[in-house]
């Protein structure tokens, strides 16, 4: 099993499938089973989400799958999960996979990571952001959400076992007849504080100005019903992912983004493989060079110096 060494010295397992242009997928390639699978189904999430994405791409691309979120939940970085550290982690994954150039797809807070990576390296062959606007991102509201989640774990550590962004989004309203407020699975204070650290570091980030530093094909998509009204428990804010993308569509297009709004889908529905793959796969096939993208130990390592604070972006600790 290939492993990447991350910024804190921990090791993250990678699963590599297929041949062709390399695509980094921060997903768990192992389907959930048992009680965990049942819990995910109640949230409207495919227990085999990561596996389905990998299998849906691996016949055309070299897919590098890695459960970055799961790794952070088992080895949290409460003080060091900054945008620069995340970008360094993603480049460490690419290096471990022997990929000099690579595409990246991330959804929700993992899409935020992709944007931070794109402004710090020229190794990206393509960037796909799902469920988070590349311009006008809701960084201040998400800090309130994650801070509220963190406060809950400090006083009574019993909140849904997902990254704070996803947990709060799901808890904002029930689906079907399931009472999400009854979900009581423990998260620890360090697990939630790492996301506070991340969003604190993003408060001064100017995503509009950052567009000039992205030099690869790029796609953003969201469900047209991706508007999240958080209850007071979660900060009492509304985050309108779809509305932001729709209202700034002309600006996004002018900045080089292809834009898709998936009709009638909310945040959870738009991340499911049956909805993602019909958008993601043909777009990648159109925009990626079909030549192999592996170059283990080559110039990619020499270019690590590009992962450095950029003008207009926060550096160090300031902060899914």
pLDDT for 104 equals 98
Hey, what are 27's tokens? 């997903």
> What is the reported pTM?
0.86
Residues 34 and 242: their CA atoms lie apart, in Å, by: 33
Mean pLDDT by 10 residues, the chain (320 residues): 95 98 98 90 91 98 98 96 98 98 98 98 98 98 93 70 47 40 65 96 98 98 94 88 98 98 97 98 92 45 40 32
pLDDT for 179 equals 40
In order of 4, 59, 118, the CA distances from 111 in angstroms are 20, 24, 11
What one-character DSSP code corresponds to residue 99?
Answer: B
The alpha carbon dihedral of 137, 220, 26, 119 has a sign of negative
pLDDT for 295 equals 46
Residues 133 and 208: their CA atoms lie apart, in Å, by: 11
Domain ranges for the chain, please list them. Answer: 2-136+205-225+241-306
Domain 2-136+205-225+241-306 indexed as CATH 3.40.50.1820: yes
Helix 164-171 vs helix 189-201: angle between axes, to the nearest 10 degrees? 100
pLDDT for 155 equals 77
CB 107 within 8 A of CB 131: yes
């Amino acid at each position: 099993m290939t492993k990447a060494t991350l910024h804190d010295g921990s090791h993250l397992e990678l699963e590599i499938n297929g041949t062709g242009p390399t695509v980094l997928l921060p997903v768990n390639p192992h389907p959930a089973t048992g009680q965990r699978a049942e819990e995910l189904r109640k949230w409207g999430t495919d227990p085999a989400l990561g596996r389905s994405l990998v299998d849906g791409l691996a016949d055309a691309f070299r897919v590098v799958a890695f459960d970055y979120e799961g790794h952070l939940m088992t080895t949290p970085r409460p003080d060091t999960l900054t945008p620069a550290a995340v970008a360094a982690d993603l480049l460490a994954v690419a290096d471990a996979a022997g990929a000099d150039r690579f595409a990246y797809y991330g959804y929700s807070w993992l899409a935020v990571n992709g944007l931070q990576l794109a402004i710090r390296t020229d190794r990206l062959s393509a960037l796909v952001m799902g469920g988070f606007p590349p311009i006008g991102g809701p960084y201040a509201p998400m800090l309130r959400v994650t801070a509220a989640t963190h406060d809950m774990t400090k006083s009574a550590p019993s909140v849904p076992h997902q990254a704070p962004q996803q947990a709060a989004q799901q808890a904002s309203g029930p689906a079907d007849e399931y009472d999400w407020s009854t979900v009581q699975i423990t998260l620890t204070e360090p697990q939630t504080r790492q996301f506070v650290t991340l969003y604190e570091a993003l408060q001064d980030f100017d995503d509009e100005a950052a567009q000039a530093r992205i030099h690869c094909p790029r796609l953003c998509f969201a469900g047209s019903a991706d508007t999240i009204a958080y209850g007071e428990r979660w900060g009492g804010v509304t985050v309108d992912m779809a509305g932001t993308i729709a209202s700034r569509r002309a600006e996004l297009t002018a900045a080089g983004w292809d834009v898709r709004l998936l009709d009638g889908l909310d945040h959870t529905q738009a991340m499911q493989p049956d909805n993602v793959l019909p958008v993601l796969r043909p777009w990648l096939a159109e925009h990626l060079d079909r030549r192999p993208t592996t170059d283990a130990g080559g110039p990619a390592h020499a270019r690590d110096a590009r992962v450095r604070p950029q003008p207009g972006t926060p550096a160090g600790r300031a902060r899914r």
